[in-house]
Amino acid sequence: MSDPLFDLAGKVALITGGSRGLGLEMVRAFASRGADIIIASRKFDACEAAASEVRATGRRALAVAAHCGVWGDIDRLIELAYSEFGRVDILVNNAGKGPAAPSHATSENAFDSIMALNFKGPFRLASQIAHRMSEGDGGVIINISSVAASTPLPGVAVYSGAKAALQVMTRTFAHEYAPKVRVNAIAAGPFLTDIARAWAAEAREHADNALGRPGLPHEIVSSALYLASPASSFTTGAVLGVDGGWA
């Protein structure tokens, strides 16, 4: 028997970066608890594969190819989502990237690309959907941030700055679109998603946190469900660390 606090039946969730990694884990978890899902990322085939998984559970799903750092693509994504489902109840701003490079060697294009995907795009998507939610029946927004937002990690200054901005945006939107819209963030630590394949073997086995290891992708699920569901009805403007106890 499902717990009513974590019941998403009848809800519509839009998850960016939902075709792999942490995003795909959230897609699966939300669908298994009754939500219909909109999956957005750059590659349509990957989105459609994830959407097929959702449909196999009996839920509806829409795959949308979109660059989540480009406002034109984001606006098209919003229109497709509302045209297909009529509303969005849960938004997860998960798409992001943070390639490491010496700060003095960072090009303008690289700077703009990192900022666009990690802050500019989520700002556009969250602001537009939060406005619609506030004029309708309300909703929930979850921004996926990083421990990098508050930890000095050499080589990722731009990414860290973008994620710090995302956390400030989370708190601001929690007030700007209250009381009908709740806005929270997850500050994720190192997770063994597909990007971890490029890590050194030591980094895949150990981490500088209390648990001494990276997280497994499914370990983000309970926190995401908490913030997406009625279980967190009195939680907004929060940044929840899911990082194994980061130093």
Catalytic positions are 159
Pairing of strands 61-65, 36-41: parallel
Q: Which residues contact 103 (CB under 8 A, 6 or more apart)?
A: 155, 157, 158
What are the φ and ψ backbone dihedral angles of 185, each rounded to 5 degrees? Answer: -135, 155
Which helix or strand (DSSP H or E) is residue 40 part of? strand 36-41
**Contact yes or no for 155/100 (Cβ under 8 A):** yes
What are the φ and ψ backbone dihedral angles of 41, each rounded to 5 degrees? Answer: -165, 180
Nearest to 92 by CA among 219, 194, 225: 225
Q: How far apart are CA 24 and CA 162, in angstroms?
A: 23
- Asked if the peptide bond before residue 102 counts as cis, ω within 30 degrees of 0, the response is no
